[in-house]
């Protein structure tokens, strides 16, 4: 079966133990205002055009058969004399993608593995399942927002050795405002994860005035304290360059957020310290 992937990193060291191959699935049902991977949002192949270095020669426009609406035909790509245009998103057969990852086995088996991320992996559930099964000889990690069908989420848990699960905001209305969806299903899946035997780490994108308030932190700590064993939680500070890649895929980035202050971070540490939670920044 085929899936669409927007990036493959062959020697990554952040999303799981050891040296890893990270595979980024294209397409996400959420629209988090702090997302720094805009090419992962659309589930379709897109044209990415770097605005830096453009000499305004017009060659791309001259080559384009559909100037009103881009059809991702790719005719502008070879036309650009500066090489500024490329595809964002490639279709892969699961066999071919698995072969590419497994070729790295001698390195990845040495304490590392493969991590499937996105975008949102649950947007391509059958492809994800097939990839997890085909790479079962490696340590497999998955990074997810938890927003997908429950049946797919449960099948994924059966086929992975580590889940990174994003927790963004506990209040459903705030969650909808900042991500485009409410968190009912996400929290339901977080509960399933905490009841499961699959190892997991919660990741909190920590953003000033989004989820740094006491109410959100207490609510999150109480929620997590229901886990069978003390859950691990990582806080990721807002990436101030989040908007940098939006022009590449013809999108605006109208949001402005700030990183949490030291005081925000200390408050979070203090609140979580009163609960059975293993917290790391």
* Residue 5 sits in the site that holds ligand SF4 (CB under 6 A): no
Closest contact distance (angstroms) between CB of 50 and ligand SF4 is 8
Tell me if 54 contacts ligand SF4 by CB under 6 A.
yes
> Which token pair is 16?
């799981």
- Nearer of residues 90 and 234 to ligand SF4, judged by Cβ: 90
CA distance 186 to 231: 17
Among 23, 48, 80, 242, binds ligand SF4 (CB under 6 A): 80
Q: Which stretch binds ligand SF4 (CB under 6 A): 68-76, 109-117, 179-187, 257-265?
A: 68-76
167/233 Cα distance (integer angstroms): 9
Q: Which of 76, 88, 174, 181 lies at the binding interface for ligand SF4 (CB under 6 A)?
A: 76
Cβ closest to ligand SF4, residue 41 vs residue 85: 85
Question: Phi first, then psi: what are they for 21, rounded to 5°?
Answer: -95, 125
- The verdict on 70 binding ligand SF4 (CB under 6 A) reads yes
User: Rule CB under 6 A: is residue 68 a binding residue for ligand SF4?
Assistant: no
Site string for ligand SF4, 87-126 (x = CB under 6 A): ----------------------------------------
Under the binding rule (CB under 6 A), the answer on residue 72 touching ligand SF4 is yes
Binding flag, residue 60, ligand SF4 (CB under 6 A): yes
Contact call for residue 47 and ligand SF4 (CB under 6 A): yes
Q: Does 66 bind ligand SF4 (CB under 6 A)?
A: yes
Q: Which stretch binds ligand SF4 (CB under 6 A): 37-45, 47-55, 120-128, 203-211?
A: 47-55
- Pick from 1, 11, 31, 55 the residue near ligand SF4 by CB under 6 A: 55
Q: How far apart are CA 132 and CA 116, in angstroms?
A: 9
Q: How far is CA 152 from CA 146, 164, 237, in A?
A: 10, 16, 29
82 scored as a contact of ligand SF4 (CB under 6 A): yes
Angle between helices 214-224 and 184-195 (to 10 degrees): 40
Q: Which of the stretches 58-66, 116-124, 154-162, 232-240 binds ligand SF4 when contact is defined by CB under 6 A?
A: 58-66
- φ/ψ of 217, rounded to 5, equals -65, -40
Residue 251 touches ligand SF4, criterion: CB under 6 A:
no
The reply on whether position 44 binds ligand SF4 by CB under 6 A is no
C-alpha dist (Å) from residue 183 to 77, 171, 215, 222, 228: 40, 8, 16, 16, 21
Interface with ligand SF4 (CB under 6 A): 47, 49, 54-60, 63-64, 66, 70-76, 79-80, 82, 84-85
């Amino acid at each position: 079966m085929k899936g669409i992937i927007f990036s493959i990193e062959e020697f990554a060291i952040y999303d799981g133990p050891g040296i890893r191959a990270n595979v980024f699935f294209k397409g996400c049902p959420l629209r988090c205002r702090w997302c720094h991977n805009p090419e992962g949002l659309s589930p379709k192949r897109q044209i990415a055009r770097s605005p830096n270095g453009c000499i305004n020669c017009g060659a791309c426009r001259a080559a384009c058969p559909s100037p009103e609406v881009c059809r991702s035909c790719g005719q502008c790509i070879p036309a650009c004399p500066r090489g500024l245009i490329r595809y964002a998103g490639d279709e892969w057969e699961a066999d071919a993608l698995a072969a590419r990852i497994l070729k790295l086995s001698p390195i990845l088996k040495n304490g590392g593995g493969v991590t499937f991320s996105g975008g949102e992996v649950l947007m391509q559930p059958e492809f994800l399942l097939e990839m997890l099964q085909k790479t079962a000889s490696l340590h497999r990690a998955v990074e997810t927002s938890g927003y997908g069908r429950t049946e797919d989420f449960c099948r994924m848990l059966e086929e992975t050795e580590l889940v990174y699960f994003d927790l963004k905001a506990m209040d459903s209305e705030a969650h909808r405002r900042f991500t485009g969806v409410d968190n009912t299903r996400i929290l339901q899946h977080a509960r399933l994860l905490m009841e499961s035997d699959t190892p997991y780490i919660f990741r909190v994108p920590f953003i000033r005035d989004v989820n740094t308030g006491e109410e959100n932190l207490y609510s999150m700590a109480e929620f997590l304290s229901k886990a069978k064993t003390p859950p691990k939680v990582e806080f990721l500070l807002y990436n101030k360059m989040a908007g940098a890649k939006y022009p590449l895929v013809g999108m605006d980035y109208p949001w402005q957020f700030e990183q949490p202050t030291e005081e925000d971070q200390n408050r979070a540490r203090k609140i979580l310290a009163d609960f059975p939670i293993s917290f790391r920044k």
